[in-house]
Chain A
Amino acid sequence: MLKARLGALAATAASIPITLLGLAVVTFFIGRVVPIDPVLAVVGDRAPADVVERARIEMGLDQPLYVQFWRYLTDILSGNLGRSVMTSNSVWEDIARFFPATFELATLAIIVSAILGIGLGVLAATRQGSWVDQAVRIFCLAGHSLPIFVLGLISLLVFYAWLGWLPGPGRQGIVYQDMVEPITGILTLDAALANDWPAFWDAVLHLIQPAGILAFFSLAYIARMTRAFMLAELRSEYVTTARAKGLSNARIIWRHAFRNTLVPLVTVIFLTYAGLLEGAVLTETIFAWPGLGQYLTVSLLNADMNAVLGATLVVGLIYVVLNLLADLLYRLMDPRTR
């Protein structure tokens, strides 16, 4: 039994390098077929011919495609993702700086959206057809269908410009700029570690709007899925049996029905989290949040291929790892998979 479980786990783990290799191949070749000359990003449009040629040779672009790919592959296997043209840093340094900002945002958003989404989903399922169900449905529809940049701008207008409750774009106020020594890159955590509580609360206040918008967007999906899973469970025969046995409604919902929805819900939440960790480009743009999504987009628009390839690989890795975690939890929670 244990051997079989370990075997299944090993097979899942083995799929990680294969997935990453596939991702490397696809991103590399897409990067080479986009109609942008990558030398332009390095030397600009005005550089004389000799400067352009020198840069082309330095970047290895004069070599055949298979040589370029082999070099790229050996570089990433040795942990070298190259240097970003846009920031002049190594791509690892950039990811270490931009990813914590996204991580902080996505983690708060997923915690809020999971708690509220599950709560609303269960509420809607247990009151199917009632005005509560309809209200949750409309709320979810709004969260899922309203463009995120519209929500972001409305939020800024109301909570920042009109009411003045929350600060504007950025990760921290001007007063605290460069005041917190980066340790983890997660600003709230670094401020707490430094015992700098004013900076901590400043960072928290700056987090509320973008994390709230992302949470609203994500909870819509989580609530809809929770409602659907719960409805399926509540129609099951074991629920009828439980009711016949005289179990309380709360016990039937939370101890029996909800417990069974947890298995598919974990996958939903993990995949939503992975999506958020990719970086929410529009949210990051509106709230001037220096995260991975903005880094990836700016790099892409500037044909900064090292940064694009490196960040894409990291996003892929996050996706694969979270998938693996979801898989493990699935196995742990569902006895049928053991």
Chain B
Amino acid sequence: MTTRRNLLTGLGAASGTAFLPWDSLIRAAHAQTPPGVVVMAKQIDDIITLDPAEAFEYTAAEICGNVYQRLVTTPNDEPARIQGDLAESWSASDDAKTFTFRLKPGQAFASGKEVTAEDVAYSLQRVIALNKSPAFIVNQFGFTKDNMVQTIRATDPRTVVLTTAEPTATSFLLYCLSAAVGSVVEKAVVSGRAQGDDWGNAWLKTNSAGSGAYSIVNWRASEAVTLQANPHATNAPATRRIIMRHVADPSAQLLGLQRGDYDIARNLASDQIRGVSGDNRYTVVSQRKASLLYIAMNQKNPILAKPQVRQAIKMAIDYEGIQRNIVPNNYAVHQAFLPEGLPGALTEKPFRMDVAVAKRLLAEAGHADGFECSLDFFSGAPIGDIAQAVQANLAAIGIRARMLPGEMRSVITKTRARQHDLALLRWGSDYFDPHTNAEAFSMNPDNGDDARNKTLAWRSGWSIPELTARTQAAVKETDPAKRVAMYEALQRDHQQNSPFAIMLQEVEVAVTRNAVRGLRIGVLSDRTSYATIAKA
């Protein structure tokens, strides 16, 4: 067979060029992944910054999770359990307002300098001062630019004390601090790179100063991110260098994996995963993600505001069929607002397709002949296919859904303006605590058009003073068991009464070559770990 090697040899012989070293040329043609280097094909064009105080996108959060450590984290094999990352121990005061963290000794940044309490305080203070998109995860405890020096303090080189404005559930605070925004940066490096009052933000967008398993070598937007092992990491990573290459097309990712140019493919489609799952040259790694697919029903539409109509829509959808036929590998059926893997998640599935019951409910609501409404959705795969299946399901009970495909941001813009009827949407949790989704789905403190807090409930025009009060009470509950019970009860009521038909939970799947082991995908992107990836 004519191989690339033969072709090159022939090409060189034909050209007769003296400057062409054959061995290097052959090396160029066989530029496969070298030892100690793992190459990952991934869609990485969602990254807009790598500063942990600002990063909020999936890929950026994943990188931050591997480059920085937080005070606490949760292990992937037991995600509800909080364990120390930089912190050795922690305690709460009796009034549940003062929290003291004691750092482990000997934790070092990539520069070799030891992580101190001063670095931790500086990192949290810069989150508050910068006030970028994810800052609310930390500042919801009452930290402000004016009080942060008093409320976030390093009392000695290994002790950090946080003082919250209100009594706070310890688990809530810890889960929030385990988010990427709670990452600890090296104060001396970052403050030395600060320009004006940017707290080093411009520099940290493309560089790193962390104590995680890896440090950032470079990021070229829509092209590649290169990470280098942190030689001072407590647990030295097994792989020297991780290269993430932006490969937008899943078919190109699969071909690259099959040729050995990529060790890991992160965005294969359902049928491609099915194709390689029986092949012993590859390993399929999957994990449920804290990301939900749901239908929002705008309560400003008087028909959709009727409880029987909402219930009819929930009974019309063929959850199992959609999952089995369209997204067998990338989604699982899930019907509660807390995704499986998050504390307090409800796994009950009270809805299954029943056309007769759905029709009866519509008739009770006075719409025996059905009605017409619009369905907004993101046109990309596989959401577009799911939307078509939903349209067919609704048609079976007489609801004529006009399909309005659009780009993700235009669909979000429309729902934020409450101009939709039905919308098929995705929601990813921001941090690990149940409050992240409870606040979005079951809180709406002000249903007015100019409300400041545009939660998902607000976007669907759902006025819920009672549920809002219960959600606010749940977040303040200091007894962890009681807290979980409160969220379970909230979800049950929400399932039956809300204008949300929660359908599916995303399952992230990565396919690795058999020689590559140890990729751990997290429930949240910042929990996905490269530290244990090893190549035989």
Contacts and interface: CB of A to CB of B under 8 A. Distances in A.
Interface string A155-172: 011001101111111101
A93 B258 CA distance: 35
A11 B223 CA distance: 42
B133 A153 contact: no
A201 B223 contact: no
Contacts of A164: 3-4, 259
Nearest to B258: A161
Given A94-B221, A156-B252, A168-B255, A198 B247 contact: no
A176 interface: yes
Interface string B214-249: 000110111110100000000000000001011111
B133 A43 contact: yes
A294 B44 CA distance: 13
Given A51-B135, A156-B255, A161-B259, A35 B413 contact: yes
A303 B256 CA distance: 31
Contacts of B453: 48-49
Contact of B39 (A48, A172, A174, A197): A174
B201 to A, nearest CB: 9
A41 B49 CA distance: 12
B82 interface: no
B56 A288 contact: no
Interface in B52-86: 56-57
B220 A169 contact: no
Contacts of B37: 174
Contact of A198 (B24, B218, B221, B259): B24
Nearest to B416: A37
A298 B255 contact: no
Contact of B255 (A37, A161, A176): A161
B133 A46 contact: yes
A176 B37 CA distance: 13
Contacts of B218: 178
A336 B29 CA distance: 52
Given A205-B28, A288-B245, A40 B255 contact: no
Nearest to A97: B220
A160 B254 CA distance: 12
Interface in A27-74: 34-37, 40-41, 43-51, 54
B49 A35 contact: no
A294 B258 CA distance: 25
A262 interface: no
A178 B48 contact: no
B240 to A, nearest CB: 13
Interface residues of A, number: 60
A86 interface: yes
Nearest to B380: A301
Nearest to B406: A35
A97 B410 CA distance: 28
B7 A165 contact: yes
B479 interface: no
Interface string B389-421: 000000000000000001111101110100000
A35 B410 contact: yes
Given A43-B133, A86-B45, A176 B31 contact: yes
Give the most central of A54, A160, A165, A169: most B CB within 10 Å.
A169
A143 to B, nearest CB: 21
B469 interface: no
A10 interface: no
B222 A198 contact: no
Contacts of B259: 160-161, 164, 168
Contacts of B19: 197
A205 B31 CA distance: 11
B220 A51 contact: no
Interface string A178-220: 1000000000000000000111011001000000000000000
Given A48-B136, A175-B27, A168 B21 contact: no
B414 A169 contact: no
A165 B10 CA distance: 12
Nearest to B430: A46
Contacts of B3: 163-165
A195 B25 CA distance: 14
Contact of B407 (A36, A86, A163, A285): A36
Interface in A287-338: 287-288, 290, 294-295, 298, 301-303
Contacts of B32: 174
A130 interface: no
Nearest to B251: A153
Given A85-B48, A88-B206, A178-B217, 16 more contacts: A88-B48, A153-B251, A156-B251, A160-B259, A164-B3, A168-B252, A168-B259, A173-B31, A174-B31, A174-B243, A177-B226, A197-B19, A202-B31, A288-B252, A290-B220, A295-B222
Interface of A: 34-37, 40-41, 43-51, 54, 85-89, 94, 97, 153, 156-157, 160-161, 163-170, 172-178, 197-199, 201-202, 205, 285-288, 290, 294-295, 298, 301-303
Q: Which 4 pairs of residues, A with B, have the shortest CB-CB distance? A: A173-B31, A198-B24, A202-B28, A49-B452
